[in-house]
Amino acid sequence: MKIHRMRQFLVMFSLVLTFNLVPKTAHAMNVNPESCEKLIINLLQPAIEEEMVKYYGEDLGKRVELYNYEMSILDLTAEPYKPTTVTLKITPMIGAHHPIGDYELYFSVDNAGEIKRLSFKPLKIYPETIERFQLTLPEME
């Protein structure tokens, strides 16, 4: 079942990239770039959640909320015969109004749909949330 869902994800991700990277097709089909960005973020969300659990640990990782409106694509590259790369800025939250920090995640997606995290970089930590919820975060590199 998990492999089937991954294959579905890959097909959808490939279609979104195709529409996003071929301006004439996207324009002819009236595809909104913000819709493409939202779809890509939604499709990458399971991989992002997995990275949050790895980074924060099991207990805190399960408490962290990820909202697609707190994520944005900073860069997306797709070249023939190379994996597509996506750089995201994300702001995980505790609840709906308490940001923990800002992070930059860099993923590659190969032609078979395999998603690999290439880098994970903390950009900013919000001390008021850390203090309020008495959180222990990994050391920033």
pLDDT in tens, 12-52: 566 555 555 555 444 556 678 888 899 899 999 999 999 99
- The reported pLDDT for the residue numbered 136 is 84
Q: pTM of this prediction?
A: 0.75
- pLDDT tens readout for residues 113-133: 899 999 999 999 999 999 998
Residue 120's nearest CA partner among 95, 92, 141 is: 141
Domain membership of residue 137 (yes or no) is no
- The reported pLDDT for the residue numbered 127 is 93
Domain membership of residue 140 (yes or no) is no
Tell whether the model's pLDDT for residue 11 goes beyond 70.
no
Q: What distance in Å separates the CA atoms of residue 85 and residue 79, rounded to the nearest whole number? A: 9
Tell whether the model's pLDDT for residue 69 goes beyond 60.
yes
Tell whether the model's pLDDT for residue 141 goes beyond 60.
no
10 vs 65, residue with greater confidence: 65
Domain membership of residue 61 (yes or no) is yes
Domain membership of residue 35 (yes or no) is yes
Burial of 28 (0-12, 13-18, 19+ CB in 10 A): exposed
- pLDDT tens readout for residues 51-61: 999 998 888 88
Domain membership of residue 34 (yes or no) is yes
Domain membership of residue 33 (yes or no) is yes
Domain membership of residue 138 (yes or no) is no
Count up the domains in the chain and report the number. 1
- The reported pLDDT for the residue numbered 111 is 87
3 vs 33, residue with greater confidence: 33
Whole domain around residue 113: which residue ranges? 2-132
